[in-house]
Chain A
Amino acid sequence: MKTLYQFHGGIHPPTNKTQSTQTPIRLAQLPVKLVIPLHQHVGNCAKPVVEAGDYVLKGQLIGRPDGHLSSAIHASTSGTIAAIDMQPVAHASGMADLCVTLIPDGLDKWIELAPCDDWQSLPHTELRHILRNAGVVGLGGAVFPSDMKLYAHKHKIKTLVLNGAECEPFITCDDLLMRERACEILLGIEMMRTLLYAEEVLIGIEDNKPEAIAAMQAAVTAGGYARMEVIAVPTIYPGGGAKQLIRVLTGIEVAAGVRSTNLGVQCFNVGTAYSVWRAIRYGEPLISRVVTVTGNVAHPQNFDALIGTPMDELVAQADQLPGTTGYIMGGPMMGVLMPSMQVGMIKATNCIIASSDQLFPAAKPALSCIRCTRCADVCPAELQPQELYWFAKAKNLDKAEDYHLFDCIECGACSYVCPSNIPLVQYYRFAKSEIWAQEAGKKAADAARERHEYRESRIEREKREKAEKLAAKEKAAQDARAQRAALAAVPETGTMPVAAENPVQQKIQAAIEHAKLQAAAAKPKNTEQLTPHQLAEIADIEARRARVRELAKDNTEE
């Protein structure tokens, strides 16, 4: 039995998982339309490669990765592109983003795929390339492009941690996936292990999922995998956080701002491993995922649904109940309230909770902090949330940073236990965004200052250069005068030609001659081709001027 470690704090909220684990994963119906955002991953937004009106096949590329850190987006089914425009998306900001609207033709016709029987023979760069072009990203919620995480680093990766903990209440998509598709997950894990040259694989699953643990264990045994262990970890929120799970399984604490790979550990979600397998073995891009639909619905369950499926269409298949006030994407601890019920589900959509006033009653008004430190007791990052709250509230941002604000993983455990109902995490999000805004402002100011300083120095330099030129001219003139004087003083030696003696002088002379010629050649442009009327006018003006001069002369003479 492997020794497990503990992390500080954590909470035990009601798990509410059994509701959605009663039935197997169901293939969701083809929706009326699909709204597929082009930015579903960490990194640059994918560049659209289709146009409105185009017919696309299932799995066809519609957005290509743009830049180093980016991922591809594909058509989830066959059909016609109706629009590429800004639409509300499943994101905390509530802001619109570039989306491809696809009207399915109902045929669900695949593009020709490139399966690969013998992936071991492919070079690793090729495998990574396949993953990138298949749009495989972390399905645990972070949606980080997986190819970027599957490098054998300069630090040796000892342990590959697979995250099947699924600590958030309500969510069961990984649970069901492990129960039903354990073998394929393990095949994907093996690919990951190869790409990382990792020695051992630890698969962490919370002990409230005995069926998933049994299925995975059976698959490991059946597959004869060496140095691969399925480990039941205690059920505690946020035990499924990457840092927390790594701590529990390996004892290693990955500090904020440190990469786990520097400490010899890499971590992936089990769903990602499944997608890696599908992408490499069958050439299937990531166009669907398992999503839990639960909450205020008659039949909570898991769907295998296409990316881009409007959430309301999906929830309807689980029989939404009256009184639904909105959808939460993710769990109740870290989930995000959707800006509309029609937003398309994305690669990060692990769960949709139909919320109701009954399920999530209105928050009681926040009272004063009594410094009871329940928040500090449960904080998995071992922060002092009550101090951070104080500093964030007072906008004392420097102090908040001193107290490790950026180590906060926003798990919400502090808010959950606060007896004064203070929305603590909101304060930390606010403080973080304030600091980011300040830093952005500071960067802009720095850039402006640099620009200004550069301009000043340029003006200064030009002035100096002008002065130097003038001085040089002056000196040359002086030298010439001195030379002429010397020549005059010594007429006997005057036979020596000046030019030959002083080539610089000669050059200057030549330049002056040239300039004179040019001036002579250049005609006053605005006096060319004048009409007789204009000529008369000019003559008139000249006459007036002459008169004025005359008058002035007379006056001064008087």
Chain B
Amino acid sequence: MSGFFSPFITKPVSVSQIMLHVLFALIPGIALYVWFYGPAILVSITLASITALGIEALMLKIQHKPVAPYLKDNSALLTAWLLALSIPTLAPWWLVVVGTAFAISISKHLYGGLGNNPFNPAMVGYAVLIISFPAYMTHWLAPQGVGGVSMSFSDQLGYMFQGLLPDGLTLDAVTMATPLDTLKTQLHQHSQIEHILNMPIYGHLAGKGGEWVAGGFLLGGFYLFAKRLISWHLPVAFLGSLFLIAGIFHLFDPAHYAAPLLHLFSGAAMLGAFFILTDPVTSPTTPRGKLIFAAGAALLTYLIRVFGGFPDGIAFATLLMNITVPLLDAWTQPKVFGKKEKRS
């Protein structure tokens, strides 16, 4: 018997499956990531996953919660993957471990575990790392074919685990500032946008390589939408608002403000729209709440990217908007059956 009370049947769907679908949806983006930047990201993801599961088990055990059912829900894995994708490819192993451990233990379990954390754990991990170890957080590998030097996989592993670079190589030679960062610094040096975009790191829409990875995440987003794992509200409102805000600035002064598509396909915009903002635990539950939340996140992202000091704005925009979630939920309660405005 499924219990003493109805309903006696349930739909065969579990949190574990949902999370698995989301992980699956990340694969196109990760595959393109590997294609352009080499397999180091897979090492980061693996490392983050092992750390996340270990810390999750430990935290559950300390709190005397059932370890197996919660460990199997795949939520820790998702946090690990998202964090690994957010930090630079060439990150030393401990950076990944510290970030993941903080995300799982402090920002998830100390707030009560799955379902109770007010802040997106992966973004908290990212914020901690970028504030504590800013230098390490800039070591983004240049995509294949950009810059003179490229690192082999073993070279990448050597750096990640032993901090060693091959003879004759410096970090500056193999890493680069992100396209968004480059844009900002170049603009500060009074370059014109069209000149900046002619630099080799830029591709068709945004950063070379990065734009494809973003496309991969967009594809994954469509999968989530097709599987009805996310509603349209968050991604559409986020990308739409970002497009609109960037578009207004661009129209107003195209020489100093990049085109909206560059913003959509740069940094973590696509990852954020489909995989980070859509974390159900830390986003509003009502349709209108979702729209406001996503629009706010887009505005903050744009402001941080263009006028702020950090290379990308997704993480802080997400965290800041996370604060507003209880308020948005309370404010945007939909009208219930039979109690709507009279329709004539």
Instruction: Give residues in A with beta carbon < 8 Å to B.
Output: 7-8, 11, 13-14, 169, 243, 247, 253-256, 258, 325-326, 328, 330, 332-337, 355, 357, 360-365, 367-374, 376, 380-384, 386-387, 403-404, 407, 412, 415-421, 423, 425-426, 429
Contact = CB atoms under 8 A, between A and B. Distances in A.
A370 B14 contact: no
Given A370-B114, A382-B337, A332 B7 contact: yes
Contacts of B335: 382
Contacts, number: 143
A386 B280 CA distance: 12
Contact of A371 (B4, B6, B69, B285): B285
B198 interface: no
B339 interface: yes
Contacts of B1: 325-326, 337, 355, 357, 360, 362
Sorted nearest first, the 8 A-B pairs with minimum C-beta distance are A255-B338, A368-B115, A412-B7, A253-B338, A332-B8, A360-B8, A360-B2, A372-B280
A380 B69 CA distance: 31
A415 B334 contact: no
6 contacts: A333-B7, A367-B114, A370-B281, A383-B336, A419-B17, A423-B3
B285 A384 contact: yes
B340 interface: yes
Interface of B is mostly: loop
A515 to B, nearest CB: 73
A255 B341 CA distance: 12
B168 interface: no
Contacts of B281: 370-371
A14 B9 CA distance: 10
Contact of B6 (A334, A370, A407, A420): A334
Contact of B18 (A365, A372, A373): A372
A367 B70 contact: yes
Contacts of B114: 367-368, 370
Given A367-B70, A372-B18, A382 B5 contact: no
A313 to B, nearest CB: 22
Contact of A363 (B10, B329, B333, B339): B10
A415 B15 contact: no
A325 B8 CA distance: 13
B338 A258 contact: yes
Interface of B: 1-11, 13-15, 17-18, 66, 69-70, 73, 75, 113-116, 280-281, 283, 285-286, 329, 333-340
A416 B285 contact: no
A367 B18 CA distance: 14
A416 B340 contact: no
Contacts of B334: 382, 384
A109 to B, nearest CB: 39
B6 A367 contact: no
Contacts of B2: 360-363
B113 to A, nearest CB: 6
B115 A371 contact: yes
Interface centre among B7, B17, B73, B336 (most CB of A within 10 A): B7
Contact of A332 (B9, B17, B66, B280): B9
Interface centre among B69, B115, B281, B334 (most CB of A within 10 A): B115
Contacts of B3: 362-363, 423
B7 A369 contact: no
Contact of B66 (A14, A365, A370, A420): A365
B337 A8 contact: yes
Nearest to B5: A426
A328 B14 contact: no
A368 B8 contact: no
A376 B15 CA distance: 16
A94 to B, nearest CB: 9
A171 B116 CA distance: 40
A79 to B, nearest CB: 34
Nearest to A372: B280
A381 B15 contact: no
